[in-house]
Amino acid sequence: MPSTPHVEKHFTASATVRDAVIGMSDGLTVPFALAAGLSSAVPSSHIVVVAGLAEIAAGAIAMGLGGYLAARTDSEHYRSERQREIDETHEMPEEEAAEVARVFEGWGLTEEQIHPIIAAISSDQTRWVDFMMRFELGLEEPPAGRAVKSAATIATAYVAGGLLPLSPYMVQNDIREGLLWSVVVTIAALFVFGCVKAKFTALNPWRGGAQTVAIGGAAAAAAFGIAKFFR
């Protein structure tokens, strides 16, 4: 009797989602806080828009560069650790074999079960080094082009997030009307963003949305209060 094939569906784009979350969350929060703060200190929506666009450009570049450097560091760290493992399998194979054994001992295997596994793994150096990188050090090789992709994802998400709270000021001449609509748009965007983010963290969507709104609202309230106090 034919059976339905079992197909496992796993989410495999966690790094890209993490970059998008970093860029979007800061993009929604920082320009919103800046615009809200300026709204209590300047008389013109035009000034808020110009300052907001300048902040978005600077923030996107800075955060994209930060993502690029972080991803490059991960790649360089992986390469250096892999080379160290290659050297150690040449220079101290007995100790490396013992490290393999300790991994399987931690999984509850007996010495009799472990011995043939070690022999099979250590018979191929590439496989041996791959095993040590993953199961001793817990390192996965970063995908090729990860640094550029990370920078582009973070920067794009930052720009997309930053334009949302700024957009009401672009169509409203009255700065208070702009602030009001910016608050509405940003709260809605933060809530939706929090709900979507919660899907990837097994958090209740309503709770995730509420937390994100609370964090963004606190940042904006602080900026607005400081600007109003020193106006």
- Tally of CA atoms within 13 A in the half-sphere of 177 that contains its CB: 5
Q: Which residue has the tokens 């490396």?
A: 96
- pLDDT value, residue 153: 92
| CA 205 – CA 18 distance, rounded (Å) | 17
| pLDDT tens, residue by residue, 97-148 | 888 888 888 888 888 888 888 888 888 888 888 888 888 888 888 888 888 9
- pLDDT value, residue 228: 66
Tell me the domain boundaries of the chain: 17-81+151-221, 87-136
- pLDDT value, residue 3: 53
Confidence (pTM):
0.77
| 8 Å CB contact between 67 and 151 | yes
Give pLDDT < 70 ranges for the chain.
1-13, 201-202, 220, 223-224, 227-228, 230-231
